Amino acid sequence: MQLSIVNPFEHDGRWYKSNLHSHTTTSDGDATVEQRVQQYREQGYHILAITDHDQTNDIEGLSTEELLVVSGMETHPLCPGHYERYHLTCLNVPHGFEIPEEADVNARIGLVKEAGGEVVLSHPYWSGLDINHLLAVRGNIAIEVFNAACTRFGKGFSSVHWDNLLNQGRVIPAIAVDDTHRGRDIFMGWTMIKAEELTVGAVMEALRRGCFYTSCGPVIEDLRIDDGKVVLRCSRVVEVHFVCSSWRGRSFFTDGGEDMTRAEFELKEKAGFVRVEVVDRKGKRAWTNPLIV
């Protein structure tokens, strides 16, 4: 199924900073659910999903007007060939939700959807997934392009996996997450969701539509396609990459000059899609979702 991705910069709503992948002492994290919620509340986050391994948590009473806590879990079906495992972050599943061990990846996604939730394919680089593994998955609403916990293994970025899917015609959004367990993997990657209000329903609808961008630091202020030209406005960066199908994109660099806050690129014929990736002076990145052109 082809997702229909919107341009969040052309839609009304408010931006909400979110971490959609985190663990607690319910599984293998170093903080209780209450402690984890407090950590993200103190950092000014608006949305936090608690996604412990194969277990849900009772989050009743933890949300406030400033922070929405979303019930979730992480599940790990075998890949085709039974060699590696997928890691699926399940969002908005009810407390007590369970998945049969024999259910394969697509059956699990179907069960999550039946329960009112959605699935993100987690850290494909760290998981050792190839393009055949990725194409076998159906119904997930996003893929993780950055995972902070996986930087401890040198495999935090999965942009190549994302682009391989895009080049195969699987146009799908991507998110950045902490996958918080312990130590340094906290407050490193987030997803800026543009939703009408801070409710589970509005946030889930925004996620389904791809109405968000994702970051480790830089701010994307605007992105438009006008008469065949892509125009970007952002916080101060030193690199801007317009990524399209195959070789059809282009990159811009300051080469030691002044930082950029604006860049534009005239799309080539058969560009297919365009996503933008920016890098600031600290090496921090931000990503827009791909738009079909």
pLDDT of amino acid 81: 81
pLDDT of amino acid 3: 62
- Collect contacts of 208-212 with beta carbons under 8 A, ≥24 apart: 208/118, 208/141, 209/4, 209/5, 209/6, 210/3, 210/4, 210/5, 210/6, 210/8, 210/141, 210/142, 210/173, 210/289, 211/6, 211/8, 211/11, 211/13, 212/8, 212/173, 212/175, 212/289
Which pTM does this prediction carry?
Answer: 0.97
Task: Please provide the distance, in angstroms rounded to a whole number, between the alpha carbons at the two ends of the chain.
Answer: 18
Q: Which domains does the chain have, with CATH numbers?
A: 8-215 (3.20.20.140), 220-292 (2.60.40.10)
pLDDT of amino acid 121: 98
Per-residue pLDDT of the chain (293 residues; tens, 9 = 90+): 456 799 999 999 999 999 999 999 999 999 999 999 999 999 999 999 999 999 999 999 999 999 999 999 999 999 988 779 999 999 999 999 999 999 999 999 999 999 999 999 999 999 999 999 999 999 999 999 999 999 999 999 999 999 999 999 999 999 999 999 998 899 999 999 999 999 999 999 999 999 999 999 999 999 999 999 999 999 999 999 999 999 999 999 999 899 999 999 999 999 999 999 999 999 999 999 999 98
